[in-house]
Amino acid sequence: MAVRAQDIATWQSYTSMDAAVDIAVSGTDVWVATEGGVFNYDAATGSIRTFTVVDGLSGVATTSIAVDSKRSAVWVGYSDGTLDRILSDTGVIQRFRDIERADQFSDRGINRIVVRGDSVLVATEFGVVVFDPIRLEVRDSYSRIGSFSAATPVRDVHIESSILGVPTLWVATKEGIAWASMTGANLQDPGVWTTETQGLFGNTLSVLSLESIGTTLYAGTERDLFQRDQNANYSPFNLTSQKVTHLSEKDGVVIGAAEFRVLVVTSGVGWKSVGVQGVGFPRAVAFSTTGKVWIASSDSGVSYGDLPLDSDTLVPENSVSPSGPETGSFTNLSLGPDGDLWAGGANASNTGFHHLNTDGTWTAYSEATSPILVNKSRFLHAFGASDGSGWVGSEGAGVAYVSPTGELTLYNESNSSLFPATGTADFIIVGGAHEDLFGNMWFTTRGSGLPIHVREVDGEWTGMGPLVGDGLLSRATAYGEIYIDSFDQKWILIHDENSFVRKKGLAVLETGVLTNPSDDSFRFFGTKGAAGVGLPAIEVNAVTEDQDGLVWIGTSSGPAFFVNTGIVARDNSAQPIWPQWQDRSNGTFMLFGLNVNDVAVDPAGRIWFATSEGAWLVESVEGGYAPVHHFTTENSPIFSDEVLSIAVDGESGKVYFSTDKGLISYTSDAVNASDKIVELKVFPNPLRISEGSNPLVFVEGLVASTRVRIVTASGSLVRRLEARGGRLSWDGRDEAGSLVESGVYLVIAVGQNDEGTAYGKIAVIR
């Protein structure tokens, strides 16, 4: 199947870099590895640079980072074994997959990176790898370490010369500590390694981190910090019962990162555990050249301050985190009328929701920012209303409303018709939210006797339902997402009342007078179809309507559509139809068998599908449908092939993809059509063409249906094109497929509905 990977190389990431996992300090440069990418903070200027997949990183969730000052480089590791090098001066990123390709080992994740001289030592899940930073290749690897199990995971490496009097490589492993002299020994020989476990709780503690002061080695384990004596016995400090994930040393002081605390050992003085104000989960620590302590935290980015002399609390002077959302995980997306984005939060406890304004600023609504949301979580179902407000349903806490001016209100059983789930006092499980043609907001719930609710424009709430008949019983009160079409029909996902996670079909509801359910009609589709008719699967995940009056259904086994007559809710002959590929070599039914998580329509009338195998864009052609794009991790910067939700901004052309690893957007070639003839915007202008290039010119300002001609200055026809949205692309080629010559070309756009003619010009330099 020939599918273009991308037409405009314009991608933007929206990852959260608040969850820091590792830190490296060199001079005034602070480099931080996070679950959303990498950022660099220049302590001298206060400037921040960020690096994500869009910039060339191999992945979103990093595991380790190290500075290579000798070569002005930064090394970044990942859980799959990929190793990136960032040239700190230019920002150029290069990927190395030597470790990731070592498929003789089932797990190849990178746990720690240490740069020493002309070696990059990499602690991996199968041993130690020595990478050559000059030749850019693996120089050596040690997967058999003494008497430890072959390919035992190595968590940290440490090189020093004082403990044994010779340069020694120490490794922290799942089974204990091992060391080997680096003077003339073949470290691939397990016989040159000495293993040490005495005192490490009977060899049951994984060792996670290593550091030393003079002749003393310190080991951070899964429970507490240990000290090695001259007889190779290890004894605990009894400072913590938590993991000590990282150690750092400067001027005779060792600091360690532990949950809720920073551990401090001062040579010849003593040791103590220090709390960090405002920081709950330290993951890594480092000293600056001035002696300040940098703390990488899994919940609040990085912060720094001085070690306390007379107290047990470190008060950070400042915290650093790039602008962006508090979390990178979103369950669903919805765009407001001006292109602002509402994002439902992660499917986890103590999470809120987010709003991305059109100016690029993020607002987080969570218990950390809004007292009204304390102990309220799982705000998953977001909707941007036509008046600029946002509505977000929580699976447990009701509905949050954000007014156009930003005020937050929480609706529950005390101030609305929403009703708690049976057997609970206040647990309101909201399944979806959508606005009807008249500005009323509709909500669904699960587990209560009233699963449908409407809030009218005047603020009046009404609860109704359940729908009984056509295969639905009165106890079937588990309703999910709701979508309202152009005829005001309500399309409602029905869940299994015995297991809310499972879905069992789709209901279509037509309402009359809101307070009179007797004039309502509905149909329920709860059986699996076959041979191109009926639901491809009863697990329905999404519904949306396109510009041609088709209502698209996304199921766990592919898409289908209804021809929307406006009376589907009372038309017994209405059935979903499976779309077919025009090119049957791709198969008969489009995306058949794929799990479709979401469906969206772009301004050109094309259909986006969020699937478990990437994001698809298809268009209607004679004889069926044809693929336009298929974005995967292999051919695009998209973070994951598990795409959960899609939202299309028709004004900017941005298409937002929420994946299970974060949010990213792509600028497409489709924008909203102009409502009148205006001067065309043609870019880039001038267009520079070289042999072998694949140029693209974009024409904006088109009306809904347009015929476009590219002609020479003398009026000779070069190319004919047609557009359905407000933007189209031209590949710089004539009707015969050849790249055009240098010159000035006229772009003529004629509206097919008598809107008139618009003009533009472009200069081509070849």
pLDDT digit string, tens, across residues 53-105: 999 999 988 999 999 999 999 999 999 999 999 999 999 999 999 999 999 99
User: How many degrees, rounded to 5, is the angle at CA 12 between CA 11 and CA 18?
Assistant: 150
Out of 174-183, 410-419, 629-638, 717-726, pick the least confident: 717-726
Instruction: Say whether pLDDT at 23 is over 80.
Output: yes
What value, to the nearest 5°, has the Cα angle with vertex 515 and ends 510 and 519? 40
At residue 55, what are phi and psi to the nearest 5 degrees?
Answer: -85, -5
Q: How many CA atoms lie within 13 A of 600 on its CB side?
A: 29
pLDDT digits (tens, 9 = 90+) for 519-529: 899 999 999 99
Q: Which residues touch 625 (CB under 8 Å, ≥6 apart)?
A: 579, 580, 581, 582, 590, 607, 618, 619
Q: Residue 279: its pLDDT value, please? A: 87
Q: What is the pLDDT of residue 2?
A: 40
What is the bridge-based pairing of β-strands 614-621 and 452-455?
A: unpaired
Q: What is the pLDDT of residue 109?
A: 97
Give the pLDDT mean for 491-517.
Answer: 91
| Cβ count near 361 (within 10 Å) | 11
Which pLDDT band, with edges at 50, 70 and 90, does 1 fall under? very low
Structural domains of the chain, ranges and CATH numbers in brackets: 89-317 (2.130.10.10), 544-672 (2.130.10.10), 681-765 (2.60.40.1930)
Give the count of beta carbons closer than 10 Å to the beta carbon of residue 271: 17
Alpha carbon dihedral 373, 375, 380, 383, in 10-degree steps, equals: -20
Nearest to 237 by CA among 264, 210, 214, 213: 264
Q: What is the pLDDT of residues 460-482, one digit of tens each?
A: 999 998 999 999 999 999 999 99
Q: What is the pLDDT of residues 544-566, one digit of tens each?
A: 999 888 999 999 999 999 999 99
Q: What percent of the chain has pLDDT over 90?
A: 75
| Token pair in block for residue 187 | 């470290």
Q: Give, in order, the Cα–Cα distances in Å from 32 to each of 354, 420, 483.
A: 24, 44, 42
Question: Are 415 and 372 within 8 A, CB to CB?
Answer: no
- For 763, residues 6+ apart whose C-beta sits below 8 A from its C-beta are 685, 686, 687, 743, 744, 745
Q: What is the pLDDT of residue 752?
A: 77
Rounded to an integer, the average pLDDT of 391-417 is 96
Q: What is the mean pLDDT of the chain?
A: 92
pLDDT at position 467 is: 94
Give the per-residue pLDDT at 766: 85
Q: Assess contact for 399 and 410: CB atoms under 8 A.
A: yes
Answer with the residue of higher pLDDT: 183 or 384: 384
**Model-level pTM?**
0.84
For residue 673, the model assigns a pLDDT of 65
Per-residue pLDDT tens over the stretch 698-733:
988 887 778 898 988 777 889 999 887 788 889 999
Region 329-355: what's the mean pLDDT? 87
Residue 301: count other Cβ atoms within 10 Å of its Cβ.
22
Nearest to 554 by CA among 588, 579, 527: 579
pLDDT at residue 280 above 50?
yes
pLDDT of 127 > 90? The answer is yes
